[in-house]
Structure 1
Amino acid sequence: MSKLFTPYDLSGTPLANRVVMAPMTRTRTPENIPTELTALYYAQRASAGLIITEGLPITDEGRGYLYTPGLYTDEQTHGWRTVTDAVHAKGGKIFAQLWHVGRMSHVSIQPDNIAPVSAGEVPATRTTVYAFTESGQPGPVAPSVPRALTTNEVRRVTQDFVASARRAIAAGFDGIELMAANAFLFDQFLSSELNTRTDIYGGSIENRQRFLLETVDALAEAIGGARVGVRVSPFGRLYDLKPFADEAEAWMSVASALNERDLAYVHLNYQPTITAALVPAGFSAAFRKAYRGTLIAAGGFDRELAEAELAKGEHDLIAFGTSYIANPDLVERMRNGWPLAQSDPSTFYGVIGAKGYTDYPAFDPTDVMVHQNAVKETA
C-alpha cells in the first residue's frame, strides 16, 4: 500500500496525504501584494496534503528579490486572506513561509538604499539577487556588502518575525514556516565562516544558534508551537554559503535543540541536485534520532523516491517543488500513474500574468482512455 497518499496528523492539523508543496519563489507580484492570480495558483494545488507558500518577506529590510509578496502590511494581510480562503474552500491546508534574506539583497531595494544586514560584514559573491541594475531596470545584480546587525537589532528582527506570524494567523493560514535555510539570515548566523560577532550571538555553536532558537520560541509563544515549522538546509551551498569548521556538530546541536520544543515540524531541504554538495553518510538517520518530531524531506523527489524514503522511516512527509509548477494536480497524477507535464523554465520567475503560472491544466483522464483505445484498435 502506498504510504504517500495516507492521511497524517500534523500536530492537530489533519492532512489528506503526505505530499507537501514546497515553497517556491515566483516573483509574480509587482506591488508585493498577493493578487487574484496568487489565490488561483495556490487553490489549483490544494490537493497537496500541505502547501507551504513562497518565502514572504517580513519587512522591507528582509526583501532580497523584486516582486515577492510580503506579510507585513494590512494590504498584504488582506491579500493573503483571499489566498487562504481559496485553498481552504478546496479542502487544502497552507502554511506561510516567513523570510528574511539577510545579506542576499541589494541597496536598490532596501529602505533608504542602505546596506542589507547580516551576522557580519562578509558579502556574498559568485551569486546574484533580483533588484534594480545601474540603469534602473529590474535584473540580476551582485548582492551589496552587508552591515552587521547590532545586538538590539537582532532582537528587533525576532519581533518582526512575530509580528508577521500574527498577521499570518489573522490572514487564515494554518501555521507558519520559519525560513532558516538556503543561505539566508539564520544560516548566516549559524555559519562560523560568516558570523564573526563577539556578542551573545557569535562565537560558540550555542551562541550562533541563539538567534534561531529565540525566534522559534517567540513564534511558539505568540501563535502556538503546533503552528510553527522550521526549514533548514544542512550542508547547503547555495548563494556562496561555504563549509565551516564545526558544521556537522552545529547541525546536530540544532536538531537536538529543536527536539526540545513542541513544533509542527522540521523541514529538511537537501540540495545535492542544486549545488552538488553532498550530505555526509548517515546524517539523515542521525538527525532523525536527534529530532523525534515530524520531519519533512525536500530535494529532487519523484513518487518512487518518495515512497522509498517514507518506507525507511526517517521522514514523515515529502515535499515536491518544481514538479508542482506544471502539475497543479500532482497528487492525482502520482496516485493514478498519469504522466507529468513539463514546465517552461523561462516562466519560472518574473513573468507578470497567467503564463507559466496558472495556465497549466489538470490532467484529463479521457486522454488515457483515448490512447488505450487507439492501441487496442491497432492491435
Structure 2
Amino acid sequence: MAENKELFEATGISTWRKLQDGPESKLFEPVKIGAWSLRTRTAMAPMTRCFADDKTGIVGDDVARYYRKRAADGIGLIISEGIVVSPRGKGNPGVPGLYTQEQIEGWKKVTEAVHAEGGTIIAQIWHVGRLSHHELTGNLPPQAPSAIRAEGHVARFRKPYDTPEEMTAADIQELAGQFAQAARNAIEAGFDGVEIHGAHGYLIDQFNSDASNRRTDRYGGDLAQRLTLTKEVLKAVIDAIGSDRTLIRFSALKVDDPDYMWPDPDGAIRTFTEAFREAGATMIHPSTMHFTRILADGKTMHQLVRKYWDGVIVGVGTLNPETAEQALAEGTIDVAAFGRPLLSNPDFIHRVKNGEPLEEYDAKKHHGVLV
C-alpha cells in the first residue's frame, strides 16, 4: 500500500518550526504506559521488512543495527515488524519467527542493541491465517476460521492466496497457546512486551469478519461472538506476561480488501472495546490509514475509540507531527506512531525537533534495504 503523499506535503519546515518554537511539545515529553517508561510519546509503527533468513526465520546483525539507530534517535516505543508464532503463521518470504530457541537467540542481539541506547522495544506477534500459500507454510494449507479463499496475491511472493483449511476447536486452542508461548519467548529474548496483531485481515481479524468467518460454533455468529477467538488469545498472552506488557492492534482495514469499513463503525468499536476489557487488556492500538477521516457522529476512528476506552491508546494512520500533537493534546491518543518516515529517516526525532526536512520515502530506493 502506497504511503499517503499528503503526509510529506503536510510535514514541511513550517510544521516542524511551529512545534519547535511553541510551548513544549507533548510529542516529545516522557510518558509511563503499562510497564514501559518511554522517553517520548512517539512510537515506531510495525512494518514488515522480510530480512530474516527465509529457511530458519532467524534475524541477524543487520536487523539489530536497523533498530538500534531508531532507539538512538529517541523513539519512545519501537514495535517490531510482525514476528510469526508458528511455521504455519508465515505469509511472506523472509519473515522472522519467535517459536524456536535459535530465533530467540537472534532477537536477543536486537533487544540488547535497543536497550544499549536506552530504548524500549516490543515484539509484534503475528499469524497471517489464510493470507498465505502452502509453499510458505511447510506444504500445509493455510489456516483460517472457514475454508474461504481470499482474493489477491501473496505480497512479495506473487502467487494467489491458497484456499485455507478450516481450523478445528483443537487448532484454535493450539493457536492461543502458540501466541502465549511466543509472548514468553519474547520476554526471554529481551523484549519489553508484545503487541498482538489482531488487525488488517490476518488470522485473528479473520475470525472477527463475517467475510472470512462463517462458523456456526461458538467462534462464529455476530461480531461480539466472533470476537471469542480474540479474547481467548488476549487472555492467554496476558496470563503469560501481564496486561502491562501487552498491546493489541485492531482495525477495519483488510490487506485483501483495503476499502472495507465496518457498516456501523460506532457500534463495532464499542463491541471491540468491550471485548478487550473483558479479556483484561489495558492498552490498545487502533489502526487506520487515514487518521483524520470522519467515520461517524463527526468523529474519527480514534475519537470513537476514546469514547469507549479510557485506557492507553496508541494512535497511527499517516500521522504528521502537527496532527499527532493535536491528538495528544486533546487526549484522543497517548502515544503517536509513525511508519514509513522512519524507514527513510533513522534520525526522524532529531529532524522533527530541529526543524529539518524529512527524506521522502521512495519505494524504489528504500524497499528491500535496511537503512
Deviations 1:84-119 (A, max 9, x none): 0000000000000000001110011112x1210111
Q: Which amino acid aligns with 2:123?
A: A
Q: Counterparts of 1:343 and 1:257 in 2: how far apart (Å)?
A: 37
The residue number in structure 2 matching 1:212 is 230
1:220-369 alignment runs, 5 A limit = 220-233=238-251, 235-240=252-257, 242-243=260-261, 248-260=266-278, 262-263=280-281, 265-272=283-290, 279-280=295-296, 281-282=298-299, 283-349=301-367, 351=368, 356-358=369-371
Q: How many residues align?
A: 341
Report how far residue 257 of structure 1 moved: 2.5
How far did 1:123 drift? Answer: 1.3
CA distance in 2: counterparts of 1:192 and 1:248, whole angstroms: 17
Tell me the equivalent position of 2:82.
55
The aligned counterpart of 1:365 is none
- Aligned-residue sequence identity (percent) comes to 35
User: One-letter code of the match for 2:212?
Assistant: L
What secondary structure is seen at the aligned counterpart in 1 of 2:268?
helix
Residues 1:65 and 1:278: Cα distance change in structure 2 (over 3 Å): farther
Partner residue in 2 for 1:129: 155
The question of 1:187 aligning with 2:205 is answered: yes
Pick from 2, 24, 43 the counterpart of residue 68 of structure 2.
43
CA radius of gyration, larger in:
1
How big is the shift at 1:347? 4.8
What does residue 4 of structure 1 align with? 27
CA contact (8 A) 1:127 1:240 kept: no
Q: For each residue in 1:195-224, what CA deviation from the matched residue of structure 2 results, as whole angstroms up to 9, or x when unmatched?
A: 100111001223200100111111111111
2:47 aligned with 1:18: no
Do 1:177 and 1:230's aligned partners in 2 also have CA atoms closer than 8 Å?
Answer: yes
Pick closer, same or farther for the CA change 1:223–1:115 going to 2, 3 Å. same
Please say if 1:73 is aligned against 2:100: yes
How do 1:144-155 residues align onto structure 2 when only pairs under 5 Å count?
A: 144-155=162-173
Structure 2: gaps spanning 5 or more residues: 1-23
Distance in 2 (CA, whole Å) between partners of 1:20 and 1:297 is 9
Q: TM-score, normalised by structure 1?
A: 0.85
TM-score by length of 2: 0.87
State the secondary structure of the residue aligned to 2:247. strand
Maintained 8 Å contact 1:270/1:298: yes
Residue of 71, 90, 96 corresponding to 2:123: 96
Over the aligned positions, Cα root-mean-square deviation in angstroms equals: 1.9
Query: Does the CA-based 8 Å contact 1:226-1:262 persist in structure 2?
Result: no
Q: Aligned partners of 2:246 and 2:309: how far apart in 1?
A: 15
What code does the residue aligned with 1:335 have?
A: K
* Residues 19 and 319, structure 1, Cα contact 8 Å, conserved in 2: yes
Query: Which of 123, 128, 134 in structure 2 is aligned with 1:107?
Result: 134
Kept after mapping to 1: 8 A contact 2:231/2:278: no
Q: Give the conservation status (yes or no) of the 8 Å contact 1:326–1:342.
A: yes
